[in-house]
């Protein structure tokens, strides 16, 4: 009983930290705070339904808990509904995706660190979690000056897809990792095209002549 409660806490705390991080970043960027929370709820619902459907179609059984659900299908559903809602509300899709990607780094890093400190210290988990915290801090501090909006999401997503593909090479995982990578590549192409169009417009203006 105590072990089950501890496992729940080790999952809930990183999620709460991630929720606050996303909400705080959206508030800083000037997005509506209530809609930011609505987006998170919609993301969890759509991602959860998609992950549930994937498990049921693959096994014809009901999942016994969150550990049975495919995390990659959940992430794909979450990112997909984030893009749709941000676009519907007239928000910068690229900034929202950046905030979501940073939130994921914080959640994963927090989970590894907490796991490393639960019971006997696990150095392996700590060696993964600590660099993720450093990565999160550096991106939060310098991304606005070093990276255009949208590129933070692309960077984190590509790293996630590559590492996940190596560590979890099951067919069903690779399908959703491949879809997430394709979505990331699409976001990158649209962002580069927009930047190029803006640069071209500035270059062709009378003042630039």
Q: What is the pLDDT of residue 205?
A: 52
Q: What is the pLDDT of residue 102?
A: 95
Spatial neighbors of 129 by CB under 8 A, at least 6 apart, are 108, 109, 110, 111, 112, 113, 114, 115, 116
Q: What is the pLDDT of residue 12?
A: 86
Closest Cα partner for 6 from 141, 114, 143, 157? 114
Confidence of residue 8 (pLDDT cuts 50, 70, 90): confident
Q: Please determine, for residue 208, whether its predicted confidence score (pLDDT) is greater than 80.
A: no
Query: What are the sequence ranges of the domains in the chain?
Result: 2-208
Choice between 195 and 161, residue whose per-residue pLDDT is larger: 161
Average pLDDT over residues 98-125: 86
Choice between 144 and 71, residue whose per-residue pLDDT is larger: 71
Closest Cα partner for 67 from 47, 51, 78, 83? 51
pLDDT for 46-98, tens place per residue? 999 999 999 999 888 888 777 788 999 999 999 999 999 999 999 999 999 99
Confidence of residue 180 (pLDDT cuts 50, 70, 90): very high
Q: What is the pLDDT of residue 119?
A: 63
User: What's the rounded Cα separation, in Å, for the pair 174 and 124?
Assistant: 25
Please tell me whether the overall predicted TM-score, pTM, comes out greater than 0.95 for this model: no
**Is the Cβ–Cβ distance between 83 and 75 less than 8 Å?**
no
pLDDT for 149-168, tens place per residue? 999 999 999 999 999 999 99
The mean pLDDT of the chain is 88
Q: What is the pLDDT of residue 125?
A: 85
Side-chain-side CA neighbours of 38 within 13 Å: the count stands at 9
């Amino acid at each position: 009983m105590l072990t089950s409660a501890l496992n729940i806490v080790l999952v809930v705390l990183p999620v709460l930290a991630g929720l606050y991080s996303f909400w705080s970043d959206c508030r800083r960027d000037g997005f509506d705070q209530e809609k930011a929370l609505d987006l998170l709820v919609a993301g969890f619902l759509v991602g959860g339904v998609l992950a549930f459907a994937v498990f049921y179609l693959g096994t014809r059984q009901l999942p016994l808990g969150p550990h049975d659900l495919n995390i990659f299908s959940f992430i794909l559903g979450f990112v997909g509904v984030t893009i749709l809602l941000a676009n519907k509300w007239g928000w910068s899709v690229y900034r929202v995706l950046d905030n979501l990607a940073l939130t994921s780094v914080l959640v994963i890093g927090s989970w590894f660190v907490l796991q490393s400190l639960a019971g006997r210290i696990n150095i392996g988990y700590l060696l993964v979690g600590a660099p993720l915290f450093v990565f999160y801090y550096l991106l939060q501090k310098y991304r606005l000056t070093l990276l255009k909006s949208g590129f933070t999401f692309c960077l984190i997503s590509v790293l996630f897809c590559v590492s996940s593909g190596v560590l979890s090479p099951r067919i069903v995982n690779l399908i959703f990792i491949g879809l997430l990578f394709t979505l990331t590549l699409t976001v990158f192409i649209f962002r580069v095209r927009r930047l190029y169009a803006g640069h071209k417009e500035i270059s062709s203006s009378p003042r630039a002549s």
